[in-house]
Amino acid sequence: MQRAAALVQRAYRPRTPCPWSRCQSSAAAEASAVLKMRPERSQRERILTLESMNPQVKAVEYAVRGPIVLKAGEIEMELRRGIKKPFTEVIRANIGDAHAMGQQPITFLRQVMALCTYPNLLDSPSFPEDAKKRARRILQACGGNSLGSYSASQGVNCIREDVAAYITRRDGVPADPDNIYLTTGASDGITTILKILVSGGGKSRTGVMIPIPQYPLYSAVISELDAVQVNYYLDEENCWALNVNELRRALREAKEHCDPKVLCIINPGNPTGQVQSRKCIEDVIHFAWEEKLFLLADEVYQDNVYSLDCRFHSFKKVLYEMGPEYSSNVELASFHSTSKGYMGECGYRGGYMEVINLHPEIKGQLVKLLSVRLCPPVSGQAAMDIVVNPPVPGEESFEQFSREKESVLGNLAKKAKLTEDLFNQVPGIHCNPLQGAMYAFPRIFIPTKAMEAAQAHKMAPDMFYCMKLLEETGICVVPGSGFGQREGTYHFRMTILPPVEKLKTVLEKVKDFHINFLEKYA
């Protein structure tokens, strides 16, 4: 005890300050005095501000993930915090994300992807031989037999060969693997081609013709590249058909202020769901040949055709069937993806583009541009390979694959008809037949008082409508103004992907909301 007390006393005994401590104290005091004498400095201005940033980026808008979706995220957070709402969940019907809406993956595709990702599974008896065969072929074409290696910028060679074989089977027209470019989803291919096409300034600036309504990727890329957007309107009164006379009008007017060089087609349509007839495609190709326009054919929904009197015709197939005068001269880039169809594999970001009649020197420039981003994700390339090289009759997985594919597409066809029928029973809503793709784009009547309320909130009328729908029902859809629409008309885009029972609930909620909305603002 005495020893412990002595230690405590010694620990707390005042010590003689050392000279070094005095120096430190003196220096600190001097520094403090100098700081007090200095005038306070405000934080310097940021280099990057809204005023100094790239104005083309600021001009970009992408409605599919715009203000409505941000608001949906806020509401979801409030629900998690226990804040009471007139609903228990947010239903994100704003985007074509099949698996997020409950669609099950295609077994064969995931089996091959599992084998490619973890090759040790190639020894497992749990996987079918046809899946193992495809996985081995893909891995043998990858550096180090691994999906983790870079590929050639144009994509893995054997996968490009499979894409070319798929196009040949589909169209009955030979496809050259050298004209195939694997991409990070179709969006990457569309953006890349537009980058090469856009040039000039003033009245010689490149004009890009796009359908209205359109998928907002097009307007966003056009803004980013500072190109000129040239709108041509689809005919809503004729099931969103494309009329060549409307193309002529748009081109004629555009030539007064830009140089139209590109014509974009979405078939089947997004957001409108129309499927173009063969005659319509012939007319469009003839128009592009006549006016010397580069054709972009967005065909990512080619498997999503539901109307019995409609059929998908690829632009490549029709172009070649029109004869060598067209097939040897019309420049065409067509696009496909793993994200839509019956696969719904959005997250893999797999896609391809086929570009034909490209000038040889431009081909070199395209490969150079693609090489800047090294290569598309190799896992996405592998997923694309399975889409274009599925099981065939006689293979072990064929029956299950066919059953799953037909189930997905059959359900989508039922939901397309259900959506059309229920919307058309609601006063003030009109929905054209959903011939293909995976969306409804109904026209909605908005009363004058609702327009005035929208103006007071500094919103477009259909944005106001969709925001109210979200706040009162938890249903997230995208206003038609985000896709473009004729002046004085209003729409919204809603996916048909939710399971049938949930889709029925969504449609009933929209119906009740719309009737109450009309009464409130009558």
**CA 472 to CA 84: how far, in whole Å?**
12
Task: Give the pLDDT of residue 208.
Answer: 96
Instruction: Give the residue extent of every domain in the chain.
Output: 56-90+399-520, 147-388
Question: What count of residues does the chain have?
Answer: 522
What is the number of helices (H) and of strands (E) in the chain? 19, 14
Asked if residue 395 lies in contact with residue 130, where contact means CB atoms within 8 angstroms, the answer is yes
Ranges of the chain with pLDDT below 70: 1-42, 60-65
Residue 174 identity: P
Judge: domain 56-90+399-520, CATH 3.30.70.270.
no
| Fold equal for 56-90+399-520 and 147-388 | no
**CA 447 to CA 289: how far, in whole Å?**
45
Per DSSP, what are the bridge partners of residue 210? 231
Q: pLDDT (tens digit, 9 = 90+) per residue, 458-474?
A: 989 999 999 999 999 99
Task: Read off φ and ψ for residue 260, nearest 5 degrees.
Answer: -65, 120
Task: Give the pLDDT of residue 29.
Answer: 62
Sign of dihedral through CA atoms 449, 240, 388, 378?
negative
Chain mean pLDDT for the chain: 90
Strand order in the sheet with 228-233: 180-184, 350-356, 332-337, 294-298, 259-266, 206-212, 228-233
**CA 149 to CA 144: how far, in whole Å?**
7
Q: Assign domain 147-388 to its CATH architecture.
A: 3-Layer(aba) Sandwich (3.40)
Instruction: Residue 398: count other Cβ atoms within 10 Å of its Cβ.
Output: 16
Give CA separation, 477 vs 72, 84, 213, 217, 492, in Å.
10, 21, 15, 17, 7
Q: pLDDT (tens digit, 9 = 90+) per residue, 97-142?
A: 899 889 999 999 999 999 999 999 999 999 999 999 999 999 999 9
Per DSSP, what are the bridge partners of residue 511? none
Sign of dihedral through CA atoms 385, 388, 391, 393?
negative
Strands 492-495 and 478-479 turn out to be antiparallel
Asked if residue 317 lies in contact with residue 171, where contact means CB atoms within 8 angstroms, the answer is yes
SS3 readout for 147-185: CCCCCCCCCCHHHHHHHHHHHHHHHCCCCCHHHEEEEEH
Q: What's the pTM?
A: 0.86
Best CA proximity match to 352, nearest among 190, 142, 115, 133: 190
Secondary structure of residue 94 in the 3-state scheme: coil
Task: Give the pLDDT of residue 67.
Answer: 82
